[in-house]
Structures are given as C-alpha cells and as structure tokens.
Structure 1
C-alpha cells in the first residue's frame, strides 16, 4: 500500500473553483473519510488521485512517486463510484473476475476463484454469482461494484459514497466489513460520504472540506472534541451541535459571538429554565428538543426519562466551545 500526498492542488471548472490549494497527506494504511456537503470538493479530490481529472496547479503523489502524466491504469488505484458501473452482459462472477484477468495482473485461475469466492461471501452475493448484472437489484449491483475493487490489491482504494444506495441493515453490516477488510489488508483507503456515522465508525482520519478548501484534518475524535470552526464542528455528531449567541449564558470570553454546545456539554438539573418542546425515545437514549430564550436546543437524556411536552428543565453549559463572528474557534 502507499501514502497519498496532495500538494497545493487546485482545480477549476469554468468559473467554479472545485479545489482551492489543498494540502493533505493520506498516511499509508489509513482509512481517510472526506466530509462536506455537495460541492465541497470531495469527489473532485478522488478524481485527482485516480487520474480521471488533472489538477490545474499542484501535484499528487502515491508512494513517493508523482502521478503527473500517468493514466488511471498506470496509477494502480481501484475506484468505486456512487453509481454502480458494471458490464451488463456479464454475470456477477465475470464482473468480479474481470479486473483480475487484466494483462497487468495475470492472476492464476485458482487465485481468481479464491478471491471471487471470498469477496462474494463478505458482500452476501455468493448466491448471485451466475446471475447477469441486469438481473440484480440496485443494492446488489453496488455490492458487485464494491467487490470489483476488493478483489484487487491496488496501492489505493478510492470509494465515492459506495453504501448510499443500500438498505440500513446492509449498510451497517458493510461498514463493519469494509473496516475489517481495510485493517486486515493494511490498505490505504480514501472514502467519500455524507454519513457522519460512517466517518465516526470507519475512519482513522477525517478531512473536512468546505467550498474546495480543506478546513480540518485529523482523527474523528480530534475533530469532534477540538473543531477549528462551527463548520467543522457541524460535520460530526448526532444530534448536531447547538450554536447559540454567546451572551445567552454568562462567562463568554472576549471576542466570542457564538457558543457551541454538544449534548454532553449541556448539564441538566440546575441553571436556566428551558421548555420541553418534544421528546424522542430512541431506545438506548432519549433526545430532548428544548426551547431556550426563543432558541431551539437538542440534547440527550436518560433513556427512561419521564419528561414530556410542556415540562421545564434547567440547563447550564459545561466546557462549551466558543466561536468568533465568522465562526472560527476561540482558544
């Protein structure tokens, strides 16, 4: 496997800036998740690494080797797209075998059979191996698409929201399997998603992108517990961080315009009064939707709480985040 480095990479499409001077190091053997809304530059980053697009400025290197001028095939990467891309006239088995039969890999038949069998079992498609790709459901097609990447042993795996079309249970199962596969192979994996749970549970590192700029890069815990801005803080955490004017509680530092409160930063039992708007029982926890001085707050409480709409609870902040007027974190 290999370290991936983006050095001052920028990319424009007409008047739009897709990537703006991005510097990022994907460590060898890491599982890096890129987070951000549509248009943040996540997929463009994958395309820069894969060679499907070339940067306007800057360079990409894999394993210490610059990728300038190299085609996707020469880069030894495997990419899984958001929309499955299969050969419709081939069976599932033949689709999975196809990368291994390339003149570059020249994989022996026994090894092909072994790898295809193992991947099919992991992806729960062993019973579909002899079906034509056109006879599969959308979720099954995406599993085959993921399998086409997994059967190979490339320098880097690139995945663009590969689980988004799957049902909730299979998505949960494959999150675990993908992480196990990546860890067992020691693979370098760059993964795009909108799903915070995928980022928190699978990533060794998270890159937060905003309008083509990399605003923070670190472990999921670092970004959750030490965000550099309101924007970065809002990328991780369910329920989402509460952001209120800094003066709604006493003790805001000089220059603070906003206070950020995650559920664990809201202490219940004393302090200022809130009105309970709604109670969501989620099994292992209960979410409280509160109204505090005309501001909406969401926090969590005991799973077996007896609170209900109309009740009053008292809250106060505990080690909150403070941000300035443009949303940058204050020390």
Structure 2
C-alpha cells in the first residue's frame, strides 16, 4: 500500500471552481473519508488521484512518486463508483476475474481463482459466483462491484459513495465489512460520502471539504469535539449541532456571533425555561425539540421520558462552542 499526497491542487470547469489549492496527505494504511455536500469537491478529488482528470495546477503523488503524466492504469488504483458498473452479460465470477485478466496484471489462473474465492467469501457472495450479474439484488451487485476492486490489491482504493443507493440495513452491514476489510488488510482507502454516519464509523481520518477547499482534516473524534468552524461542526453529529445567537444564554466572548451546542452540551433540569415543541421516540434515545427565547433547538433525553408537547424543561449550556461572524471558531 502507499500514501497519497495532494499538493496545491486546483481544478476549474469553466467558471466553476471544483478544487482550490487543496493540500492533503492520505497516510499509508489509513481510511480517509472526504465529507461534504454536493459540489464540495469530493468526487473531483478522487478523479485527481485516479488520473481520470488532470489538475490545472498542483501535483499528486502516490507512494512518493509524482503521478504527472501517468494514466489511470499506471497509477495502480482501484475505483468503486456509486453505480454498480458491472458487465451484465458476465457471471459474478467473470466480473470478479475481469480486472485480474488485464494485460497489465497478467495474473496466473490459480492466483485468479484464489483471489476470487477469498473476496467472494469475505463479501458473502460465494454462492452467487455462477449467477449472471442481472440475477442479483442491488446489495449483491454492489458487493460484486466492491469485490472487483478488492481482488486487485492496488496501492490505493478509491470509493465514490458506494453505499448511497442501498437500503439502510445493507448500508449498515457493508459499513462493518468495509471497515473490517480495510483494517485487516492495511489498505489505503480514500472514500467519498455526504453521510456523516459513514464518516464517524469507518474513518481513521476525515477531510471536510467546502466549495473545493479543505477546511479541516483529522480524526472523526477530533473534528466532532474540536471543530474549527460552524461549517465543520455541522458536518458531524446527529442530531446536528444547534447554532443560536451568541448572547442567548449570556457570558459569550466579545467577538462571538453565534453559540454552537451539541446535544451533550445542553444540561437539562437546571437553568432557564424552554418549552417542548415535539418529542421523537427513536428506541434507544428520545429527541426533544425545544423552543427557547424564540429559538428552536434539538437535544436528546432518556429513551423512556414522559415529557410531551407543551411541557417546560429547564436548560443551560455546558462547554459550548462560540463562532465569529465569519463562522470561525472563537477560542
């Protein structure tokens, strides 16, 4: 496996800035998730690394080697797309074998059989190897798509929202499988998503992108507990961080424009009165939608709470974040 370094990478499409001076290191053996909304530059970053697109400026290196002028095939990367991209006329086995039979790899037949068998077992599709791709469910198709990348053992795996089209249970199952595969193999994996749960549960590092700029890079816990801005804070956490006027509770720093409160930053049972607007029972927890001084906020409480619409709950902040008018964190 290998590390990936992007240095000052910029890319525009017409008048649209896709990436702006992006500098980032994907450490060898890490699971890096690029997080951000549509248009943040996530997929463009993958395309820079894979060689499908060329940067207007800056450089990309893999394993210490500059990738300038190198084709996707020469870069030894494997990419998994959001859509399955399988060959429908081929069986599952033939789809998995296909990349190993390329003239570049020239893998011997016994080695192909071994790798296909191992990957099929890990992804729990061994019993489907002789089925046509068109006979599979959506989840099985995506497992084959992921497996086609895994059989190659490339320097870097690139995955572009591979789980977004699956149902909730399959997404959950494949999150566990992908993280396990990456951890056990020591693979370097760069993964794109807008799903914060995928970022929190799978990533060793998260890169938060905003309009083509990298605004924060670190572990999921670091970004959750120490965000550099309102934008970064809003990328992780469920329910989302509450952003309110800075002086709503008093005692804010002079330069603060807003206060950020995660659910655990809201202490219940003491402080000032708020009114329950809505109660969401989610099984393992209950979300409270509160109205406080004409502001709406969400927190969590005991799963078996008896609170209901119209009840009064005292609240106060604890260890809040403060942000200035530009959204940057105030110390």
Rounded Cα–Cα distance in structure 1 between residues aligned with 2:140 and 2:14:
37
- Post-superposition offset of 1:80: 0.3
**Paired positions, count:** 331
CA distance in 1, matches of 2:295, 2:152: 52
- How far off its partner does 1:55 sit? 0.1
Query: Could you tell me whether the CA contact under 8 Å between 1:260 and 1:320 is conserved in 2?
Result: yes
- Residue correspondence of structure 1 range 126-145 to structure 2 within 5 A: 126-145=126-145
More divergent stretch after superposition (27-36 vs 169-178): 169-178
How do residues 185-196 of structure 1 correspond to structure 2 at under 5 angstroms?
A: 185-196=185-196
CA apart distance, 1:123? 2.2
Q: How far apart are residue 264 of structure 1 and its match? A: 0.6
Between 192-201 and 125-134, report the one with greater CA deviation: 125-134
1:146 & 1:287 partners in 2: Cα distance? 36
Partner of 1:30: 30
Aligned partner of 1:229 in structure 2 is: 229
User: Corresponding residue for 2:281?
Assistant: 281
* Pairing 1:109-120 to 2, within 5 Å after superposition: 109-120=109-120
Higher mean C-alpha deviation, range 176-185 or range 257-266: 176-185
Question: Secondary structure at the residue paired with 2:179?
Answer: helix
**Matched residues in 2 for 1:8 and 1:307: separation?**
53
What is the match of residue 84 of structure 1? 84
Q: Matches of 1:285 and 1:63 in 2, distance apart? A: 45
Measure, in 2, the Cα distance between the counterparts of 1:183 and 1:301: 34
Report the equivalent of 2:122: 122
1:167 aligned residue: 167
How far residue 87 of structure 1 moved from its aligned partner, in angstroms, is 1.5
Select between 48-57 and 140-149 the one with higher mean Cα deviation.
140-149
Q: Deviations over 1:133-176 (max 9, x none)?
A: 22333332222111100111000000000011112112111111
CA distance in 1, matches of 2:119, 2:166: 17
Residue of structure 2 equivalent to 1:73: 73
Any idea what SS the aligned residue of 1:231 has?
helix
Distance in 2 between residues matched to 1:152 and 1:243, nearest whole Å:
46
Indicate the residue corresponding to 2:253 in structure 1.
Answer: 253
Q: Structure 2 stretches of 5 or more lacking a match?
A: none
Q: How does 1:173-252 map to 2 (within 5 A)?
A: 173-252=173-252
Q: Quick one: distance in 1 between partners of 2:147 and 2:61?
A: 26
Deviations 1:286-317 (A, max 9, x none): 11111111111100111111111111000000
1:293 and 2:297 equivalent? no
3-state DSSP class of the match of 2:217? Answer: strand
* Residue ranges of structure 1 left out of the alignment (5+ in a row): none
Greater Cα offset, 297-306 or 205-214:
297-306
Scaled by the length of structure 1, what TM-score is found? 0.98
User: Residue in 2 aligned with 1:266?
Assistant: 266
Runs of 4+ with deviation above 3 angstroms: none
Q: Take 1:16 and 1:53, find their aligned partners in 2: how far apart are those partners?
A: 15
- Measured in 2, the distance between the counterparts of 1:283 and 1:20 equals 43
Instruction: Tell me how far apart the structure 2 counterparts of residues 291 and 112 of structure 1 sit (CA, whole Å).
Output: 61
Q: Alignment partner of 1:58: what SS? A: strand
The residue matched to 1:238 in structure 2 has which SS? Answer: coil
Cα distance in 1 for partners of 2:141, 2:14 equals 34
Deviation, structure 1 residue 118: 2.2
